[in-house]
Structure 1
Amino acid sequence: MDNTTPKTVAILEPGYASYLTERTVLADQAVTLVPVTMDADAVPALQKLDPVALLVRERDVTAALLAACPNLKLVVRYGVGVDNIDLDAATKRSIYVANVPDYGAEIEVSEHALALYLAVQRRVVLRDQQLRAGGWGIGQAATIPSRENAVLGLIGCGRIGLETARKFRVFGFDKVMAFDPFLNPDTAKAANVDLVDLETLCKTADVINLHAPLTPQTHHIVDAAHIALMKPTTILVNVARGGLLDEAALAQALHEGRLFGAGIDVFEQEPVAPDNPLLTAPNTTLSDHTAWYSERSVKVLQQNAAYEVRRVLQGNAPLNWVNPWPGADTQKQRLEKSS
């Protein structure tokens, strides 16, 4: 692609403090970065801009949005999951879709998972509220189970899951089990992680962390039936995708005392709906899809996303290409040889 012809890269629903990182990476590509707010119909704006690439965070990239961009070459997701992008529609038009799986967020996400667990386990948020309201001597007002020789269960065990397991072991979790059909048994063995079926994990684990991608197969993978298998002392932590979890079933179990607590960073509808039942569930610590965030991770994420745009503008396939179509291997090999 000619790097002297002016081109537009649209940033859908911009949310970062600055886009200097992207502009620096693309400085020699005759690119104009244009933020497109999504509080109204974005189709007219995209039709006017006719971008060659889209950079997107959580916004849904539908077939209609793609159709509004006749010269579109690439959609890059700031992050790992691409469940908000119509992959079929993109593939039919030979539009590359890429993600950014390697911005080091396994550090931040695993820390956040641990923080949510500790907040729930030690009832930190509740104790803070009670103390500010004038309470004292409230430490034994509600039970706190011991986690000595506890078992950590991971639903999904990629880089984030493995890093989470490492950190939880420091807090006394001497056994880690995982349900992940894609985890190599040798990798699991090297990490001292036992591969088990989902039912066994739900029945056995004292703390269950969700680290799986959201796909049609994993939607509500933790449903009412699986929650019913869990022990009343179990803590459930979700720092992956809200759609993995039946939120109504979880809230009901918490209200009925069938689970000890939950730490939730992601929701099926975001921003979270005011009537979401988890907002009123007992011993539940919530955050606003922020597990991935640190100043470092944001910079690396924006930089790596911009480099995917740069690769395509230079005539290569993206490095992290998630929707290869027939005949794509040759193009990918060409990229690998040129990198």
Structure 2
Amino acid sequence: MRKWKVVVTDWEYADLRYEEQVLSSEQIELVAVQCRTEEEVIAACRDADALINQYAPISRKVIENLSNCKVITRYGVGVNTIDLGAATEKGICVANVPDYCMDEVADHALALILAWTRKVVVANQAVKNGVWDFKVTQPIARLRGKTLGLVGFGKIPQALAEKVKPLGLRVIAFDPYVPEAVAASYGVQIVTLDQLCADADIVSVHAPLTEATEGLMGAGQFAAMKESAIVINTSRGPVIDEQALIHALRTGKIAGAALDVVEREPIDTDNPLLSMDNVILTPHVAWYSEEAAAEMRAKAAMGVVDVLLHGEYPKYLVNHEVKASVPLQECCPEARYAALV
């Protein structure tokens, strides 16, 4: 009997042990490649039954050349590497792993908030340069009583809202898809984006990258903010118009930024953000812990198992419209997934 061919299109890990454990079936052949271009993906995956994807482009051109593919899963939350419309038209299920790093990203956003407001980076550098003087951090404002504005109110910002409660922050959020009652259950008020920008002392961006959210935070939003406000981003770089942010930082329209993501990654060596004293940068690390990485990889592989071995829609199906043309069973993976975490 022919084995199911599962291709990992690209990865950045030392090995694929978690994927191999989940896909250790006599019915599955696991093939690992390192594709960077559309042509490389097509050559490696033309006859594949499933793809596990990290950064390699799964464009319409690629999808139209997949003759057997039934499911594409992606490491992590974002699926912007995959043409969802083309996948749906082709009858391919697309799945992600939306819940593997909620605490990690919320923790990192909180760390950036505290690092910036308490001038931790400034103080650390001063001490290492031989300056033992608290005045290098002036001014520092008390955090309690300030307003935190969350752009997006999904699982990660909900976790962040819980984590900041002991700090005495007022929390507001902009998210047109979240009912006010849900936000209220976290003690959070839903507001418009304009109101959030005007009221917040700290703006923390958590919106996923979509056509609707690209450049969501732009010149108009920065112009509406307090000059003392700071911007945190642990979502995706292009959600912020980077040139508008740089201008706002240079002109003092806002006080600072702490960014785990930028428009182009790795960051360009001539990016002005690198030379700004009022900016903290980390290298897209908010998602990471050893436990989160293992969970993400195992769950991405399990999405393939859902479809190929169990005939079910993947637990984390993204393109629900595919159900109109692909008749699978609803996923019942509680025990299957519980064993992974």
TM-score calculated relative to the size of structure 1: 0.91
Q: Deviations over 1:149-175 (max 9, x none)?
A: 1111000011101110111222221x1
The Cα of 1:73 is off from its aligned counterpart by 1.4
Residue 25 of structure 1: how far off its partner (Å): 1.2
3-state SS of the aligned residue for 1:139?
Answer: helix
CA displacement at 1:38 relative to structure 2: 3.1
Aligned-pair identity (%): 37
Residue 322 (str. 1) matches residue 318 (str. 2): yes
Alignment of 1:59-78 (within 5 A): 59-78=56-75
Q: How does 1:57-206 map to 2 (within 5 A)?
A: 57-103=54-100, 105-140=101-136, 142-173=138-169, 175-206=170-201
Paired residues of 2:92 and 2:322 also in contact (CA < 8 A): no
Q: Report the Cα distance in structure 2 between the residues aligned to 1:99 and 1:25, rounded to whole angstroms.
A: 16
Alpha carbons of 1:59 and 1:44: their partners in 2 closer, same or farther (altered >3 Å)? closer
Pick closer, same or farther for the CA change 1:257–1:38 going to 2, 3 Å. same
Q: Which amino acid is the alignment partner of residue 79 of structure 2?
A: V
Pairing partner for 2:281 from 280, 286, 289: 286
Q: What one-letter code is carried by the residue in structure 2 that aligns with 1:115?
A: A
Give the direction of change, closer, same or farther, for the CA distance of 1:73–1:327 in structure 2 (3 Å limit). closer
For the 8 Å contact 2:230–2:255, the answer to whether it is kept is yes
Please give the residue correspondences for 1:204-243 in structure 2 after superposition, counting only pairs within 5 Å: 204-243=199-238
Moved more, 86-95 or 123-132: 123-132
Q: Secondary structure at the match of 1:300?
A: helix
Matches of 1:258 and 1:154, distance apart in 2: 19
- Whether the 8 Å contact between 2:38 and 2:57 is mirrored in structure 1 is no
Please give the secondary structure, in 1, of the residue aligned with 2:228. Answer: coil
Aligned length: 332
Q: Which letter maps to 2:105?
A: V
* Residue aligning to 1:12: 9
SS in structure 2 at match of 1:117: helix
Q: C-alpha distance in 2, partners of 1:25/1:58?
A: 21
Seen in structure 2, the aligned counterparts of structure 1 residues 337 and 14 have a Cα distance that, compared at 3 Å, is closer
What's the secondary structure of 2:94's corresponding residue? strand
Deviation by residue 1:287-312 (Cα, 9 ceiling, x = unmatched): 11110111111111111111110011
Aligned counterpart, 1:36: 33
Whether contact under 8 Å (1:209, 1:237) holds in the other structure is yes
1:62-93 CA distances to partner (integer Å, 9 max, x unpaired)? Answer: 12222343212111111112122111111121
Match of 2:50 in 1: 53
Report the TM-score, using the length of structure 2 for normalisation: 0.91
Higher RCO (CA-CA < 8 Å; seq separation 6+):
1
- Give how far 1:244 is off: 0.7
Question: 2: CA distance between counterparts of 1:224 and 1:248?
Answer: 9
Which amino acid is the alignment partner of residue 268 of structure 1? E
Retained in 2: the 8 A contact 1:47–1:68? no
Pair 46,230 (structure 1): closer, same or farther in 2 beyond 3 Å = same
In structure 1, what residue type is equivalent to 2:29?
T
The DSSP-based 3-state class of the residue aligned with 2:189 is strand
AA of the residue aligned to 1:259:
I
User: Structure 1: which 5+ runs fail to align?
Assistant: none
* Aligned-residue CA RMSD (Å): 2.1
CA–CA distance in 2 between the matches of 1:219 and 1:9? Answer: 32
Matched position secondary structure for 1:249: helix
Structure 2 unmatched runs, 5+: 335-341
1:325 is paired with a residue whose SS is helix
- Specify whether residues 276 and 149 from structure 1 end up closer, same or farther in structure 2 by C-alpha distance, changes over 3 A only: same
**Residue 301, structure 1, aligned to residue 292, structure 2:** no
